[in-house]
Amino acid sequence: MSLGKRLRQTRLRRGLTQSQLAERLGMTEANLSNYERDRTTPPSERLQQIAEILDVTTDYLLGRTDDPHGYAEYLGREDAQLKDGIEFITRARERMSDEAYARFLQISKQIAEMMENGDRK
């Protein structure tokens, strides 16, 4: 997926209009539209600013990872299975409603608590 498509998709997921994001960036809506249509590429400083506002990493916007928050990078390479799990959950989250995601987190927490207590049924 291109930078422009990821930018647009992430902006929409955050519930922001082009006008709102452009205003927060201190730029015109037309310039932002050009980024989203892949007509122009934001300079690195602007890309960092966009990532901060949208609460994602620049690597995610650039398509270098499917992990928008960079959690997998903190895990280290020795636990590839956990990294894969986090990326799976991140992708699944994008398709879930807020209610479904809250339920998913609740169930996950219950499973983790059962495992901590030695109940692995």
pLDDT per position as a tens digit, 1-14? 899 999 999 999 88
* 74 alpha-carbon distance from chain centroid: 15
Q: Domains in the chain and their CATH numbers?
A: 3-64 (1.10.260.40), 72-116 (no CATH)
CB atoms within 10 A of CB 94: 12
Write down the pTM of the prediction. Answer: 0.60
- DSSP letter for 119, please: -
pLDDT in tens, 97-108: 888 888 888 888
Dist. CA 102–CA 104, nearest whole Å: 5
Both tokens of 91, joined, read 């992708």
Helix axes 44-54, 18-25, angle to 10 degrees: 120
Q: Of all helices (H) and strands (E), which one includes residue 87?
A: helix 80-95
pLDDT in tens, 64-95: 888 777 766 655 555 666 667 777 777 777 78
